Amino acid sequence: MLKDSPQVQDLLARCSMSTELTARELFPDIFYAPFSALHEKIFSAVDSGARHVVIAAPRGLGKTSIARTIAAREILFRNTSFVLYVSQSSTFAEMQTENLKNDLRASAIVRTLFGDIKFSDAVDLDDTFSKLAWVAFGSTLVLPRGAEQQVRGSNWRNFRPQLIIIDDLENAKEISNEENRKKLKKWFYGDLLRCVNKDDDNYRFIYIDTIKHEDALMVQLLESKQWHSVQLEICGDDLVSFAPDYMSTEDIKKEYEAYEEAGELDTFFMELRNIPVAASDATFRREYFQYYNELEAKLDEDLEVENVVILDPAKTVKPHSAESAIVGIGINRRTGAIYIRDVDAAKMHPDDMVDRALAMVLRLKARVLAIEVTSLHEFITYPVKTAIAQKNMVVELVELNARGSKIEKRVPALVPFYRRGQVYHNRAVCTAMESQLLSFPKCRRFDIIDAEAYIVELLEVGMKYFCSESEEEPMDAWEPPKEVMLELDDWRLL
């Protein structure tokens, strides 16, 4: 390889602008496996140029190796004079900066293109700071620091920290303590963010970690408008892998089952999906879920079960770009059972959505199709009515209106039914719905559980109340005047 050849110079120019290319071309012994779609999003955020970048990535994605490569690129191309490498402890930070030094030494390609890198001790650094700091090329200081260690006042040859790499800052054990979380946040905002030269305008903070607690510092930063944030997960609610080259759907499902068996699904959501859920405060819990077998239950033949289909369409000018949800539910008012029989949720074009909703109506022999019409009205009801007429179907259409604008207030209405053990899931179709329930209200998507929650309004609209559990003789039922009965629709009468 000729170092001065046009091809090599072009490669170096592109590496200087791309962390991904630096990783693949200059450190092939570290990054020997193909990058997944999740890696691509990490590299895109790192190279975005944003001054504050926070990346929540699933466990095991090579976050620390990427963090070291970010620093390596800045060192090799002399883009920074002061790298501050921060982690949960000084020991871990020092170990990673030593690994960084070894990365630079061990790469044959780096030696060929950049020569043997001269490393020296930071003899002119204030004794207050780590003695394991070192200097590369005589021009770039690398200083490791642990959480809550002194960083303010760090000054080397009149340079303040310019690249601040924050890698795995929050300790999984300590973060469970509220006082520890408060102390870390106070140090982060009061010391770490103030260690740079604000007048220089030549500094960047890059924080890479996995969410370890629902009240973690990282959660705050992900929600902050001041930080360019990327929140990644290995799969969606249906457990289908977003990066099958890295982790297959089959492996994800095995992990999910293992966490479920151990009663640690909140850990699964946080470590692999970066969804913070407090197990003790969760709105819905795994133990609330009851199951039934569709073949054994024979709900289609049970005359006591009323089947309904609820359609919650995407509310956007581009319906194909957002998720719609269709949920089929069976109701037995005598036993109080609510069966979640079928679920269909995806990005659908309007005509496809209507066809799929009506197909579920036929499949479940439902007598009611309920549609959430808020903000859509005739734009959704007209095509449904047209399709019903064209297919010569006999099904009652019930319009539902959102009572209150917040999903967070509608979904909890399901909790009493779950706590009393009235809701039964068809295990074959409810995985995505259960993921949304268990991670509520922090779930990425609400489409399925929002549709499910409308069963409460539908029951109220139809005046469908469950029978008493008491064995005593029921009181005489009140019968509304005949003129009132004439105003009630069929869903209320039947």
Q: Which has more confidence, 205 or 264? A: 205
Given pLDDT bands bounded at 50, 70 and 90, which one contains residue 468?
low
Given pLDDT bands bounded at 50, 70 and 90, which one contains residue 381?
confident
Averaged over 188-196, what is the pLDDT? Answer: 95
Given pLDDT bands bounded at 50, 70 and 90, which one contains residue 368?
very high
Q: What's the sign of the alpha-carbon dihedral 199, 200, 202, 208?
A: negative
Q: Which has more confidence, 260 or 493? A: 260
Averaged over 59-78, what is the pLDDT? Answer: 95
Domains of the chain, by residue range, sit at 6-231, 286-461
Percent of the chain with pLDDT over 70: 89
- CATH ID of 286-461, from 2.60.40.10, 3.40.50.720, 3.30.420.280, 3.10.20.740: 3.30.420.280
Q: Is the pLDDT confidence value at 292 over 70?
A: yes
pLDDT attached to residue 484: 44
- Give the chain's mean pLDDT: 88
Given pLDDT bands bounded at 50, 70 and 90, which one contains residue 488?
very low
pTM: 0.74
Q: Is the pLDDT confidence value at 215 over 50?
A: yes
pLDDT tens, residue by residue, 94-149: 999 999 999 999 999 999 999 888 898 887 777 777 678 999 999 999 999 999 99
Averaged over 405-413, what is the pLDDT? Answer: 78
Averaged over 145-173, what is the pLDDT? Answer: 92
**Most confident residue range from 2-16, 89-103, 402-416:** 89-103
Q: Which has more confidence, 442 or 394? A: 394
117, two tokens: 């890198």
pLDDT attached to residue 245: 86
Q: Which has more confidence, 320 or 51? A: 51
pLDDT attached to residue 481: 52
Q: Matching CATH topology for 6-231 and 286-461?
A: no
Averaged over 273-294, what is the pLDDT? Answer: 85
CATH class of 6-231: alpha beta
Contacting residues for 244 by C-beta, under 8 A, at least 6 apart: none
Task: Flag the least confident range among 47-51, 91-95, 317-321, 487-491.
Answer: 317-321
